Structures are given as structure tokens and as C-alpha cells.
Amino acid sequence: MEEYQSLLQPGEYLAGIYQTVVIGGGHAGSEAALAAARMGAKTLLITMSPESVAMAPCNPAIGGAAKSVLVREIDALGGAMARITDQAQIQIRMLNTGKGPAVQALRAQIDKALYQRLMRRRLEEQENLDIRQGEVVKLLLNEAKNHIKGCVTANGAAFAAETVILASGTYLSGRVIIGDYDYPSGPAGYPPAAALGRFLRDMGLPVRRFKTGTPARVDKNTIDFSKTEIQPGLQGLYFSYLTRDGEFQRPSIPCWLTYTNPQTHKIIRDNLHRAPLFSGRIEGIGPRYCPSIEDKVVRFADRDAHQLFLEPEGENEREYYVQGMSSSLPEEVQAAFLHTIPGLENVTLMRPAYAIEYDCLDPLSLKATLEHKQWAGFYPAGQINGTSGYEEAAAQGLLAGINAAAACLGLPPLTFDRSQAYIGVLVDDLITKGVNEPYRLFTSRSEYRLLLRQDNADLRLTPTGLAYGLIGEERQRRFAAKKAAMEGEMKRLQAYHPKEKQLQALGLTANRETSLETLLRRPEINYAYIAAHFPPAEPLAADAAEQVEIAVKYQGYIAKQQAQVDKFKKLEQKSLPQPMDYQQIKGLSTEAQQKLTQTQPANIGQAGRISGVSPADVNLLLLWLKTHPQNKTGENDA
């Protein structure tokens, strides 16, 4: 109590004492608050507008390549995103079928408003969790201990806490740019949070400006769908391992495909001088994977058509999202070029496209737990760490929530490495390589992706979730049943050698070695075939059967990746002291010395992934570790 009082300024009052305070109720903040409270930490979620929790300011979709694995991982750890998507989806598809088990990806269109309502309800139903409206303008700093001890709102309400999660998204010093106009704003017309951005700068944290953009929304009633191609969805697909078939009655609303044409491009080209990106009005760094339409027209000048999708923002909303047409050209130019597009000739704008610039922090200063290296108890998560994307934000929020609560409850910190989860890949990339543009996950970022599939996220992570108290009974039961069924069937397939006659009757060649497992490995045979002709005592549930099929069919490649992982793990286990004075290691190259000093890698493996750290530098680190056994920071034996 006194400790906290002493941190307050005149006019501020102590409004509450918590174990964990979460600033911001976006995708990161929501998952963080739920996880921390679920583990039993007394938690406060403080956000500028509780009715906009988990708002999706850009496309009305969850999942997609790489991201869908994240959603599944969040689910396997007891998070909310997958379940709520299943309840709020209005169309779902499986992408990349036939391209390999590691890259199959679910993507759902969601009813945005419904998603927000469901998340709000979930937050309100959560025990140990208080929700409070307010704009945080500063953090409570115990500078003697380098510890963050809570935060203060614009009204002087101070909330004390052992741990603080900052999930402020694109709001900090937000600035919206449309053509010749720019003004301070958060996304979608919500107010920006300028004071907190200034406060972080004053704390001496390096703050950078990133930029992102969103396309226009148009009125459904003014679209001529007959001139576009329909993109229907599928049924019976779910994100959450918990969702039962038919549990939620959801509509399946199509998206629509149409194309730009030379006329569209001409209007864009003629107005390029008014595009802030080209006129220099935008300083923030935007993502290469989300180019605006003016960018595309300039960079791919030889193309005379770009595709665009019309996506519903909700089941009943008239607003349609024009995917592919992100822009920061003036509103009237936007309207003009949209009117050249088949189906959109008479369309009415409901919201213009815009670009937004915002403050974010440097993730190189974070540990793998997402705790800040200089400020104990401080966990930035989500877009504030230079990422982009709902799923990336939610995954970080979950991890930060778990670790913040773990710190308060005396549990060991939780980290994932690159071989365990996409969450691990995401965090390791952030804290090892840093970011030069808003960071998004891609399948190619995950070198061990054949082991990190969306279909086995539960097998990989649910036991961890259980250990941290994040997993409910129902999930636990279903998980155990799936695992047992799968393992039992694998054993059976290996042990069962069909008689030659049996196989001949099916027209299959055979020899002494032929087991059901080797049969299943043949390209022309799938698990359904095995189950039909050599059925197990209990038929397998579809998800367990899928695991069995993948494990057998891709065994060769899975073994290859496992061997890579085994190598990787060895170096990952050799911990480096924190912090470490790299000046004392003679012989390191200057670049390696600088990068290592800045990044302070947790182990030799991470050190080796820093660009500029050579194999020889790694050997010098190994040598140093061996000559300094007094560092009891880890397994230093070679």
C-alpha cells in the first residue's frame, strides 16, 4: 500500500490494487486478461472503450496461412480466439488443401460486431477479472528497482499491480492519413492515445513509427453482384478443438471476386501526386505484404488487372470490405477508381480507405517471456511490439498474460522455442531479429513447420496449458481421448501384418514385411481405405484418424525435420548469462559484439541466429561458457 502511495503524484488517487493490469482490450489485451485471470491472478483490464474490445479494424477474417496455426495454438492453450471465431463466423474455408499437411489453413469470415460482443461477454464472465474504462496516460515506475508497478488514467485513477501488460495496438500517437488530410486518430474513428506514447518516449524507450492501411467499405445495396464471381464457403470446419459439429448454427455468406482494369489504373496514376506515400506525408514504415493499390499499380505496372474481393463485415451489416484496395488517396479519388470496377459502378462509400501511423516499441528489448529486459514486471504485447495481425496480437497477449500471472503466482516462466510452436517462431523472430516493418507470420518463417501443424497444436501444447491451469475439464477429457485413440491405432498399424491372401483379394502386392503401416505409406492408399478393410475395434474420430494418417504418410519428412530439431535443441540448451558483458570475450567480431550486446540472447542457439554472428563467434561463446563454469545459468556442458 505505502509502496504504491509513494509513487503517486498530487491529484492522483489509488483506485485499485491488482496482481496484473492489462492496458488495452484489443486481441492481445483480451487474451492476456483472460489467461491471467484464468490462472488465478487478480486482474484488471483497462481500455478506452469496453464496447470495442477485440475490434477488428481491418479485414473481417480470422486465420489463413500460418495464422491459422496460431489460432489453433491459442486454442490448445485455452485461449478464446478459436472458440469465438467458431461462434461468430459467417463463412469458413480450408486453404491449401493438397499442398501439404503443414500448410493447410482454415480461414473464416467473421461477423465483426458479433465477435466483439462475444468477447466482451467472455471477459465479463471471467472470474478474477475486472474491466474498467479509461485512457492510461502513464505507468507507475519504481525507478530504484526498475520495476513497473501499475498505471494511471487521464482522470488520475492509479491502479497498482505487480505486472503490467501493455497492449495498446495502433492507438499510441495514432495519426490517420487520407489524401491531403491527416489528423490525430486511432483506427476506425476511435480517439488516439497520445499521452501514453509521449510517456514511453520520456521513459527513454526507443519508440518507432510504423504504418498500416485499410481499404474502403462500400454499401452492399449499391453493389451489382451479378457482375462478380461468387466465392462460396464450406461447412463443418472449426477452429477450436472444443467445438462439436453442429454446435453453433452459422450462416454461410459468400464473398465476391472482381477485378480492376486499365481505367482504374489510369485514375490512380493520374492522382499519384496526391498519394501521401509518394508525396512524403507518411513517414512510418509500412508492411511490404500489404501494399496499397497505388503501390501495386506503380510496382507492377505491366499488369492491367488486380483482383479484389468483396467481403461482408457482418451477417446483417450493409458494409462490405473491399479486399485488395487499400489506399490513402483522397476520398474522391477512391470513389472514382472504385466506380470503374465491374459490380462497383454505382457503389456508395460507407468508410473511406485510410492509412494510420502509430508508435511501437523495439522488441529486441524483450525476453522470450515478453517481459521487458530493463523494466521488470512490464510485458508489451501485440501490435505495440511491431507486429501486425489479429492472430499475432492474440498469441502474444496469451503468452504475456500467462507469464505476467506466473510471475505473480510463483510459477516458472513459460517460453516456446522455434521447434515447439508458431508462437515460439513469432517471439524468437521478434526478440532476435527485431523488426524493420510491421511483422507478420508466414509459413516460410517456420523452418520446422512440418512438425508445427494446425492439426497437432493440441498434442504439442495442451499439456503445457494444463500445467499452467489454463485448460478446463472438458478439453482435458477430449484431449486425453484423442491421444489415446491415436497412439493405440499407431501401435495396431505397426503390429498388424495382413495375410497375403487378404491382400491379394484386394489386388494389392505384398511381402512378409507388409504391415498396415507400410500399406498406408503407399501413395494410393489412405486411412479411410485401411479403416474400411482392416477396421480397428473402435472406429477412430476424424481428428485422431488424421493424425495417424499424417504420421505414417509423411514419416520420412517428419523424421528429417525431427533430426534438424534435435540439432537445434542442443544449442538452445546452452544458456548465456543475463545480462552478459560481451566486451570481455576477446576475438568476437565488432559487429557480433554490438549485436550480442544489444540483443542479449538467452542461449547459444539464439546468439547464432542473430545476423552478423558467425559460426566462429559462436565457437568463441562456447569457449567462454566452458571457461566460466561459475555461471550457473544453465547446462554448459558440451
Ligand X SMILES: Cc1cc2nc3c(=O)[nH]c(=O)nc-3n(C[C@H](O)[C@H](O)[C@H](O)COP(=O)(O)OP(=O)(O)OC[C@H]3O[C@@H](n4cnc5c(N)ncnc54)[C@H](O)[C@@H]3O)c2cc1C
Q: Which residues bind ligand X (CB under 6 A)?
A: 23-29, 46-49, 52, 57-59, 135-136, 167-171, 187, 193, 196, 212-214, 290, 356, 382-383, 388-390, 393
> Under DSSP, is residue 548 helix (H, G, I), strand (E, B) or coil?
helix
Question: How near is the Cβ of 50 to ligand X at its closest, in Å?
Answer: 9
Report how far residue 599's alpha carbon sits from residue 609's, in angstroms, rounded to the nearest whole number. Answer: 11
- Chosen from ligand X, other proteins, none, partner binding at 567 (C-beta under 5 to 8 Å by type): other proteins
Using rule CB under 8 A, residue 17 touches other proteins: no
What does 56-81 look like in DSSP terms, one character per residue? Answer: --S-SEEE-TTHHHHHHHHHHTT-SH
Candidate ranges 18-26, 284-292, 476-484, 593-601; the one touching other proteins (CB under 8 A) = 284-292
> Under DSSP, is residue 150 helix (H, G, I), strand (E, B) or coil?
strand
- 446 vs 462 by CB, closer to other proteins: 446
Report how far residue 521's alpha carbon sits from residue 387's, in angstroms, rounded to the nearest whole number. Answer: 40
Report how far residue 547's alpha carbon sits from residue 269's, in angstroms, rounded to the nearest whole number. Answer: 51
Of 273, 512, 586, 632, which one interacts with other proteins (CB under 8 A)? Answer: 586
- Chosen from other proteins, ligand X, none, partner binding at 166 (C-beta under 5 to 8 Å by type): none
- 402 vs 610 by CB, closer to other proteins: 610
- Chosen from ligand X, other proteins, none, partner binding at 568 (C-beta under 5 to 8 Å by type): other proteins
> Under DSSP, is residue 309 helix (H, G, I), strand (E, B) or coil?
strand
Angle at 186 between CA 111 and CA 53, to 5 degrees: 40
- Chosen from ligand X, other proteins, none, partner binding at 479 (C-beta under 5 to 8 Å by type): none
Where do we find the cell 474491466? 131
- 65 vs 409 by CB, closer to other proteins: 65
**Three-state SS annotation for 191-218:** CCEHHHHHHHHHCCCCEEEEEEEECCEE
Please compute Rg for the chain using Cα positions. Answer: 26
- 290 vs 356 by CB, closer to other proteins: 290
Question: How near is the Cβ of 530 to other proteins at its closest, in Å?
Answer: 19
Report how far residue 94's alpha carbon sits from residue 238's, in angstroms, rounded to the nearest whole number. Answer: 10
- 67 vs 482 by CB, closer to other proteins: 67
Using rule CB under 8 A, residue 583 touches other proteins: no
- Helix (H) or strand (E) holding 475, with range, is helix 473-495
Characterise 46 by phi-psi region: left (phi > 0), alpha (psi -120 to 50), beta (else): beta
Query: Using an 8 Å Cβ cutoff, are 259 and 308 in contact?
Result: yes
Copy the grid coordinates of residue 407: 510471475
What does 476-523 look like in DSSP terms, one character per residue? Answer: HHHHHHHHHHHHHHHHHHHH----HHHHHHTT----TT--HHHHHHST
- 132 vs 433 by CB, closer to other proteins: 433
- Tell how far CA 234 is from the center of its chain: 24
Residue 363's nearest CA partner among 378, 342, 350, 380 is 380
CA dihedral 467, 468, 469, 475 (to 10 degrees): -60
- Terminal alpha carbon distance of the chain: 48
| 23 backbone dihedrals φ, ψ, rounded to 5° | -100, 115
Q: How many residues does the chain have?
A: 638
Of 12, 447, 455, 543, which one interacts with other proteins (CB under 8 A)? Answer: 447
- 281 vs 418 by CB, closer to other proteins: 418
Report how far residue 623's alpha carbon sits from residue 584's, in angstroms, rounded to the nearest whole number. Answer: 13
Using rule CB under 8 A, residue 306 touches other proteins: yes
- 45 vs 625 by CB, closer to ligand X: 45
- Helix (H) or strand (E) holding 257, with range, is strand 255-259
Copy the grid coordinates of residue 310: 468483396
- Chosen from other proteins, ligand X, none, partner binding at 288 (C-beta under 5 to 8 Å by type): other proteins
Using rule CB under 8 A, residue 522 touches other proteins: no
Using rule CB under 8 A, residue 554 touches other proteins: yes
Using rule CB under 8 A, residue 192 touches other proteins: no
Question: How near is the Cβ of 273 to ligand X at its closest, in Å?
Answer: 23
- Chosen from ligand X, other proteins, none, partner binding at 215 (C-beta under 5 to 8 Å by type): other proteins
- Chosen from ligand X, other proteins, none, partner binding at 171 (C-beta under 5 to 8 Å by type): ligand X
Candidate ranges 8-16, 81-89, 531-539, 620-628; the one touching other proteins (CB under 8 A) = 620-628
**Three-state SS annotation for 281-345:** CCCCECCCCCCCHHHHHHHCCCCCCCEEEEEECCCCCCEEEEECCCCCCCHHHHHHHHCCCCCCC
Question: How near is the Cβ of 290 to other proteins at its closest, in Å?
Answer: 5
Question: How near is the Cβ of 406 to ligand X at its closest, in Å?
Answer: 20
Query: Using an 8 Å Cβ cutoff, are 405 and 41 in contact?
Result: yes
Residue at 512: amino acid letter: R
Using rule CB under 8 A, residue 618 touches other proteins: yes
User: Helices 390-409 and 422-433, interaxial angle, to 10°?
Assistant: 90
- Chosen from ligand X, other proteins, none, partner binding at 616 (C-beta under 5 to 8 Å by type): other proteins
- 55 vs 548 by CB, closer to ligand X: 55
Question: How near is the Cβ of 393 to ligand X at its closest, in Å?
Answer: 3
- 534 vs 557 by CB, closer to other proteins: 557
Candidate ranges 126-134, 464-472, 501-509, 624-632; the one touching other proteins (CB under 8 A) = 624-632
Of 588, 596, 601, 603, which one interacts with other proteins (CB under 8 A)? Answer: 588
Of 124, 300, 332, 594, which one interacts with other proteins (CB under 8 A)? Answer: 300
Of 92, 102, 370, 404, which one interacts with other proteins (CB under 8 A)? Answer: 102
Using rule CB under 8 A, residue 303 touches other proteins: yes
- Tell how far CA 3 is from the center of its chain: 36
- Cis peptide bond upstream of 101, omega within 30: no
Using rule CB under 8 A, residue 254 touches other proteins: no
Question: How near is the Cβ of 378 to ligand X at its closest, in Å?
Answer: 15
Using rule CB under 8 A, residue 291 touches other proteins: yes
Using rule CB under 8 A, residue 598 touches other proteins: no
| 189 backbone dihedrals φ, ψ, rounded to 5° | 80, 0
Using rule CB under 8 A, residue 561 touches other proteins: yes
Question: How near is the Cβ of 522 to other proteins at its closest, in Å?
Answer: 11
Using rule CB under 8 A, residue 567 touches other proteins: yes
Report how far residue 345's alpha carbon sits from residue 340's, in angstroms, rounded to the nearest whole number. Answer: 6
Report the interface residues with other proteins, using CB under 8 A. 58-59, 65-66, 95-96, 98-103, 105, 215, 287-291, 296, 299-300, 303, 306-307, 309, 323-324, 326, 442-445, 447, 449-450, 523, 554, 557, 560-561, 564, 567-568, 570-571, 585-589, 608, 611, 614-620, 622-624, 626-627, 638
